[in-house]
C-alpha cells in the first residue's frame, strides 16, 4: 500500500465548557453526555471537560453485544459501587407497573464513578425489562457518557430520567440530531451555531455559546425562582390579610357580612394600590448579584429543594396573615371604640372606621413589601411610593363633593377623608398598626439570619462583590486527544431496528417541578483537545473496538 495522505478534522470544544461543567456540578446538577461520536471521542470529551477524571475510582465501560451481557455488566458495575445493595429493591418486576410510575431514589455511593455506554448496549439497556437497572446504575455514577447514540435514543434516555426520577431535565444541543432530545426534556436549550438552526427552532432557550448555560441557570434561573416565590408569598399574604379582617369584624356586626372597607377601596385594592409594587418586585428583585451567583453555585440548591415556596412556606404565610389581620382589625377597633373627634363630633362612625382600617391596611402591606424587597431600583421606588400616593389621591378624590353630587349612592363616603384624616390620633393608629405588623417579621428574619444563616445570608454579608474569572487549570491528562476512525460506524445499529419504538412510551404527567436537575447533555461534534498528548503507539494490535486499544494504551503508558 502506498500512503498517499491523511485527513484530519479538528473540532474544538467551545471556550469555557470545562468551567461551566464544573460550576454546574457544584450546583448539584448531574450531567450526562449523549453523543453520536465514537467511544474514544466521547471519552476524550469527557476527560477534557473534567467530567471524567483521573481521580475517579473507576470508569465502567458497557459495550456488550447481547442483552444478558449488558445486564451483567450493569449489575457488576452497580455491585462494585454499592456492594451490599438489595437486589430487587428498586427493580419492578416485568409485569405491569401500575398507574403511577415508581420513582428511583438517589443512592449515595462512596467515591466517584463514571459510566460509558455505547449505543448498541444502550439499545438493550433501554428496553422495558432493563431500563430500571440501567437507570439505577447510571444514577449512582457521577458522570454518564453515552456514545454512538442515535437521536431517538437520546430522547429515550431523557424520557427515562423524566419518568423515574423526581427531577427537572434540561437538554442542550446544537444539531438537528438533538432536536428530539431537546423536545423531550423539560427545558430544551439550543445552541445556535455551525450546525444550523434546527436545534434553536425547537428549543425553549437558545444562545450561541455553551458557557452561557451557566448564566442561564445560576443567575437567571435562580432569580426567576426567587422572584416567583416572593411574588406568590406576598400575594397570598396581602389578600389573606385583606380578607381575614372581615372575619373578625363579623363578630361585631352581627355576622351580617358587612364589609369593613369602602366598596371603591375593595375594587381598587388589587387593581391600583398593590399591583405595581409587587410587579416591580417580581421583575427586578435580586437577592445576590450576578457575580456572586456565578461564584457560588451552591446558591442554586434551595431552588432544587423547593425551599422558598412549599406547603410549609404557605402555612407560615397564612399564619402571618392571620396575625396581621388581628392587628389590623383590633387596633383600629380599640382606637375607635367610644371615641369622638377633637371637637366632640362623631369619630366612631362606620365610614371613619372603614377609612382608618383601609389606610392601616394599605400602609402595612406597603411596608411589608418594602421589607421583602431586597433590590430597590428607581422603578421599585416609583412603584411603591407611587402606589401609596395613589391611594391617598384616589381616596380624597372619591370622597369629594363633586363626585357625590354626580352619583350620591355610589359615593356615599363624602367628607370622610377630610373629617377623619385630620385627626392626629388616626395617624398614630396607622403608625402603630404598621409597626406592630412589620416589626415581628423584621425581628424574626434578623434573628434567623444571625443564628442560622443560610448561604444567601452569608453571601449577602460579604463586601462589595468582585466577579473574578478563574481560569480553570486543565488537569494534565496524558491522554491523547486524537482518535482514529478505523472502527465501524453505527450503521449496523440503525439497520438492526433495535432502536425502533415498540410501544408508546409512558410520558410523565405534567411538569415535575421539584428535585435536582440532571440531564445536561452537550452534544455536537466537538471533541476534546488535549495539548499534551502522547502519540498512540501505532504498533498496538488493532482490536475490533477502539476501546480495547485505549485500555491497552492506558495500561502500558502510565
Partner 1 sequence: MMASSYNAKDEDGHHPGSVGSGGPGAVKSKKPDNTAFKQQRLPAWQPILTAGTVLPAFFMIGLIFIPIGIGLLVTSNNIKEFEIDYTGVDMFSPCFNCSQSYSWNSTSACTCSVPFTLDQPFESNVFMYYGLSNFYQNHRRYVKSRDDSQLNGDKSSLLNPSKECEPYRTSDKKSIAPCGAIANSLFNDTLELFYIHPNGSRIAIHLVKTGIAWWTDKHVKFRNPGENNNNLSIVFQDTSKPVNWRKPVYELDPSDPDNNGFINEDFIVWMRTAALPTFRKLYRIIQKKKDNMTPTLPPGNYSLEVIYSILEKRITKMKTQIKMLRFTVFLRSVYCQIHKLPELSMLKKENILILFFQLQNLTFISKFYLLFFCNYL
Torsion angles phi and psi, residue 429, rounded to 5: -65, -45
CB of 185: closest distance to partner 1 in angstroms?
21
Which of residues 151 and 193 has its CB atom nearest to partner 1 in the complex? 193
CB 121 within 8 A of CB 62: yes
Measured distance between the N- and C-terminal CA atoms of the chain, rounded to whole angstroms: 33
CB of 513 to partner 1, least distance (A): 24
Q: Residue 39 or 456: which CB sits closer to partner 1?
A: 456
Burial class, 455, CB count within 10 angstroms (exposed 0-12 / middle 13-18 / buried 19+): middle
Helix (H, G, I), strand (E, B) or coil at 113: strand
Distance CA 146, CA 45 (A): 12
Provide the minimum distance between the beta carbon of 41 and partner 1 in the complex, in angstroms, as a whole number. Answer: 16
Closer residue to partner 1 in complex, CB, 130/459: 459
422 is in an annotated binding site: no
Residue among 286 and 306 whose Cβ is closer to partner 1:
286
Residues 67/130, Cβ–Cβ less than 8 Å? yes
Q: Is 177 assigned to a binding site?
A: yes
The torsion defined by the Cα of 411, 415, 418 and 422, in degrees rounded to 10, comes to: -120
Name the minimum Å distance from CB 348 to partner 1.
6
Asked if residue 113 lies in contact with residue 175, where contact means CB atoms within 8 angstroms, the answer is no
Flag whether 110 is marked binding: no
The strand pairing partners of 34, in sequence order, are: 146
Rounded distance between C-alpha atoms, residue 435 and residue 432, angstroms? 5
**Residue 154 labeled ligand binder:** yes
* 174 labeled part of a ligand binding site: yes
Supply the minimum distance, in Å, between the C-beta of residue 502 and partner 1: 39
Distance of alpha carbon 536 from alpha carbon 549, whole angstroms: 9
Least distance from C-beta 68 to partner 1, angstroms? 43
Task: Read off the DSSP letter of residue 62.
Answer: E
Query: Residue 15 or 76: which CB sits closer to partner 1?
Result: 15
76-84 long-range contacts, Cβ below 8 Å, gap at least 24? 77/113, 77/115, 77/137, 77/141, 78/133, 78/136, 78/137, 78/140, 81/109, 81/111, 81/113, 81/137, 81/140, 81/141, 82/107, 82/109, 82/140
Of the pair 32, 292, the CB lying nearest partner 1 is at 292
Residue of 507, 522, 523, 524 whose CA lies nearest to 186: 507
Annotated binding residue 36:
yes
Q: Is 475 helix (H, G, I), strand (E, B) or coil?
A: coil
- Shortest distance, position 16 Cβ to partner 1, whole Å: 7
Residue 506: exposure state from Cβ atoms within 10 A (0-12, 13-18, ≥19): middle
Question: Smallest gap, in angstroms, from Cβ of residue 47 to partner 1?
Answer: 20
Residue 357 Cβ vs partner 1, minimum distance, rounded to whole Å = 9
337 vs 392 by CB, closer to partner 1: 337
The answer on whether 539 is annotated among ligand-binding residues is: no
Q: Report how far apart, in Å, the C-alpha atoms of 392 and of each of 113, 203, 387, 408 are.
A: 65, 47, 9, 21
Q: Which is nearer to partner 1, 54 or 346 (CB)?
A: 346
Q: How far is the CB of 14 from partner 1 (least distance, A)?
A: 7
User: What is each CA distance from 540 to 8, 206, 486, 530, in whole angstroms?
Assistant: 21, 44, 13, 21
Dist CA 46 CA 167 (whole Å): 23
Nearer to partner 1, 137 or 352 (CB): 352
Task: State the nearest-atom distance from the C-beta of 460 to partner 1, in Å.
Answer: 5
**Alpha-carbon gap, residue 179 to 523, rounded angstroms:** 11
Phi-psi region at 421: left, alpha or beta (left = phi > 0; alpha = psi -120 to 50):
alpha
Could you give the CA distance from residue 491 to residue 67 in angstroms, rounded to a whole number?
19
Smallest separation, CB 386 to partner 1 (Å) = 17
User: 333 or 482: whose CB is closer to partner 1?
Assistant: 333
3-state secondary structure of 270: helix
Consult the annotation and say whether 37 binds a ligand: yes
Q: 61 has which bridge partners?
A: 116
Beta-bridge mates of residue 59 = 114
Choice between 61 and 329, CB closer to partner 1: 329
**CB-nearer residue toward partner 1: 207 or 234:** 207
Residue 547 to residue 147: CA distance in whole angstroms:
12
Run of H or E including 114 = strand 113-118
Pick out the residues of the known binding site for Mg(2+).
174, 178
Pick out the residues of the known binding site.
35-37, 148, 154, 174, 177-178
Pick out the residues of the known binding site for ATP.
35-37, 148, 154, 177-178
Amino acid at each position: 500500500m502506498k500512503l498517499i495522505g491523511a485527513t484530519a478534522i479538528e473540532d474544538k470544544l467551545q471556550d469555557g465548557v470545562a468551567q461551566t461543567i464544573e460550576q454546574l456540578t457544584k450546583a448539584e446538577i448531574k450531567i450526562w453526555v449523549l453523543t453520536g461520536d465514537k467511544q474514544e471521542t466521547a471519552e476524550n470529551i469527557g476527560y477534557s471537560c473534567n467530567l471524567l477524571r483521573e481521580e475517579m475510582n473507576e470508569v465502567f465501560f458497557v459495550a456488550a453485544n447481547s442483552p444478558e451481557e449488558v445486564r451483567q455488566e450493569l449489575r457488576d458495575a452497580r455491585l462494585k459501587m454499592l456492594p451490599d445493595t438489595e437486589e430487587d429493591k428498586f427493580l419492578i418486576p416485568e409485569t405491569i407497573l401500575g398507574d403511577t410510575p415508581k420513582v428511583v431514589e438517589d443512592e449515595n455511593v462512596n467515591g466517584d464513578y463514571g459510566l460509558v455506554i455505547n449505543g448498541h448496549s444502550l439499545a438493550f439497556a433501554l428496553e422495558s425489562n432493563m431500563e430500571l437497572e440501567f437507570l439505577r446504575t447510571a444514577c449512582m455514577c457521577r458522570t454518564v457518557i453515552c456514545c454512538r447514540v442515535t437521536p431517538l435514543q437520546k430522547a429515550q434516555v431523557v424520557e427515562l430520567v423524566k419518568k423515574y426520577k423526581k427531577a427537572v431535565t434540561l437538554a442542550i444541543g446544537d444539531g438537528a440530531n438533538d432536536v428530539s432530545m431537546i423536545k423531550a426534556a423539560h427545558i430544551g436549550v439550543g445552541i445556535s451555531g455551525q450546525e444550523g438552526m434546527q436545534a434553536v427552532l425547537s428549543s425553549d432557550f437558545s444562545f450561541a455559546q455553551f458557557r452561557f448555560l451557566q448564566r442561564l441557570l445560576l443567575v437567571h434561573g435562580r432569580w426567576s425562582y426567587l422572584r416567583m416565590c416572593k411574588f406568590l408569598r406576598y400575594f397570598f399574604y396581602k389578600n389573606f390579610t385583606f380578607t381575614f379582617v372581615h372575619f373578625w369584624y363579623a363578630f361585631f356586626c352581627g355576622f351580617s357580612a358587612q364589609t369593613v372597607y369602602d366598596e371603591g377601596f375593595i375594587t381598587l385594592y388589587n387593581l391600583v394600590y398593590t399591583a405595581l409594587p409587587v410587579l416591580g418586585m417580581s421583575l427586578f428583585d435580586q437577592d445576590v448579584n450576578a457575580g456572586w451567583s456565578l461564584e457560588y453555585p451552591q446558591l442554586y440548591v434551595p431552588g432544587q429543594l423547593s425551599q422558598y415556596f412549599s406547603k410549609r412556606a404557605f402555612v407560615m404565610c397564612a399564619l402571618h396573615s392571620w396575625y396581621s389581620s388581628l392587628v389590623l382589625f383590633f387596633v383600629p377597633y380599640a382606637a375607635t371604640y367610644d371615641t369622638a373627634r377633637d371637637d366632640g363630633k362623631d369619630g366612631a362612625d362606620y365610614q371613619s372606621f372603614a377609612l382608618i382600617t383601609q389606610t392601616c391596611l394599605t400602609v402595612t402591606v406597603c411596608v411589608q413589601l418594602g421589607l421583602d424587597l431586597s433590590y430597590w431600583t428607581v422603578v421599585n421606588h416609583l412603584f411603591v411610593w407611587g402606589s401609596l400616593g395613589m391611594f391617598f389621591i384616589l381616596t380624597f378624590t372619591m370622597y369629594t363633593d363633586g363626585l357625590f353630587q354626580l352619583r350620591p349612592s355610589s359615593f356615599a363616603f363624602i367628607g370622610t377623608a377630610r373629617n377623619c384624616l385630620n385627626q392626629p390620633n388616626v395617624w398614630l393608629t396607622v403608625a402603630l398598626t404598621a409597626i406592630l405588623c412589620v416589626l415581628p417579621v423584621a425581628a424574626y428574619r434578623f434573628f434567623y439570619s444571625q443564628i442560622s444563616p443560610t448561604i444567601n445570608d452569608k453571601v449577602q454579608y460579604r463586601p462589595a462583590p468582585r466577579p473574578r474569572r478563574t481560569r480553570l487549570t486543565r488537569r494534565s491528562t496524558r491522554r491523547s486527544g486524537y482518535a482514529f476512525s478505523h472502527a465501524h460506524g453505527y450503521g449496523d445499529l440503525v439497520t438492526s431496528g433495535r432502536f425502533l419504538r415498540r410501544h408508546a412510551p409512558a410520558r410523565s404527567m405534567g411538569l415535575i417541578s421539584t428535585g435536582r436537575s440532571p440531564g445536561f447533555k452537550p452534544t455536537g461534534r466537538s471533541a476534546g483537545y488535549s495539548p499534551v498528548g502522547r502519540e498512540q503507539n501505532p504498533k498496538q494490535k488493532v482490536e475490533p473496538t477502539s476501546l480495547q486499544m485505549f485500555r491497552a494504551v492506558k495500561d502500558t503508558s502510565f
